[in-house]
Amino acid sequence: MLWRRSLRRRRYRLGLAARKRKRGSEIVEPARRYQHHRAAVPIAVILSIAAPSRSQEPSPKPSAKLYPSRSTSFYGAARGGRVIGTIPPGAELQASGPAQGPRVPVQLSGWSLESAPSLVFAAVGRRIVQAELGLRGPSHRRLSGQQTDPYGSVWQQVSVDGWVDQSDLVPDVNQVWKQAGALYQQRCGGCHALHPPAEFTANQWPNVLKIMAHNAALTPEQAALVTQYLQTHAKDQGPM
């Protein structure tokens, strides 16, 4: 008889604990608690990131390095809407000729997994996206080498030629990272201390960002910028 009573008491205690936990999690639910915080982000900052100036610049020097200041379309030709992919902010491009109208011809280099040729990464096993190619993308790729990583995956060294709007490009990648770092400080240090970029590896950051970009209510464009910034300044990257 005694054991029955103690069992009932234990069940009661467990039930109570569960209710307490539930109430507790409602109180600390982060998104709701910091909603007022999000609304306070100055709109001028968002606009200045979304709308760079459109002044006509001279053609870049041959083989000069250029970097998109925001996600930009990778076109198959100097004119027309034939898009072969998207290039994220901060990816390294090399000018390959004079500008024609608003677009400049560029070459993009990197590595793709043989099993997923539409994504071009910075290095073997280093998943910093340099381009996301669309359906027409693969026909613009040139392969120049191949390597197998320690996990047995085959990586192809690729370069892709295309055209980019010159107004989306800057000659100094630090301009891009300065903008990204400011956004990171504004939006990622409200709920907890800012995590240093070097706390995680380049391959770990995208998983963190999947959840945190949502927490910080970043637009896809802002999420891409912060992701590239954290990856290029990660633990396993040299100083850039």
Task: Give me the residues that bind ligand HEC (CB under 6 A), please.
Answer: 30-31, 34, 187-188, 190-192, 195, 208, 211-213, 215-216, 218, 226
The dihedrals phi and psi of 73, each to the nearest 5 degrees, come to -75, 140
User: Between vectors from CA 177 to CA 174 and to CA 183, what angle results, nearest 5°?
Assistant: 150
Q: Which residues pair with 121 in a beta bridge?
A: 111, 129
Closest to ligand HEC by CB, 99 vs 183, is 183
Closest to ligand HEC by CB, 32 vs 54, is 32
CA–CA separation, 125 and 110 (whole Å): 11
Closest to ligand HEC by CB, 59 vs 204, is 204
Write down the least CB distance from residue 116 to ligand HEC, Å.
25
Residue type for position 130: Q
Closest to ligand HEC by CB, 70 vs 187, is 187
CA–CA separation, 107 and 193 (whole Å): 39
CA–CA separation, 126 and 240 (whole Å): 15
Write down the least CB distance from residue 192 to ligand HEC, Å.
5
Write down the least CB distance from residue 198 to ligand HEC, Å.
11
Write down the least CB distance from residue 38 to ligand HEC, Å.
7
Closest to ligand HEC by CB, 49 vs 218, is 218
* Cβ–Cβ < 8 Å for 129, 141: no
Write down the least CB distance from residue 81 to ligand HEC, Å.
32
Closest CA to 58 of 88, 30, 83, 95: 95
Write down the least CB distance from residue 34 to ligand HEC, Å.
4
Torsion sign across C-alpha atoms 17, 23, 24, 25? positive
Closest to ligand HEC by CB, 54 vs 178, is 178
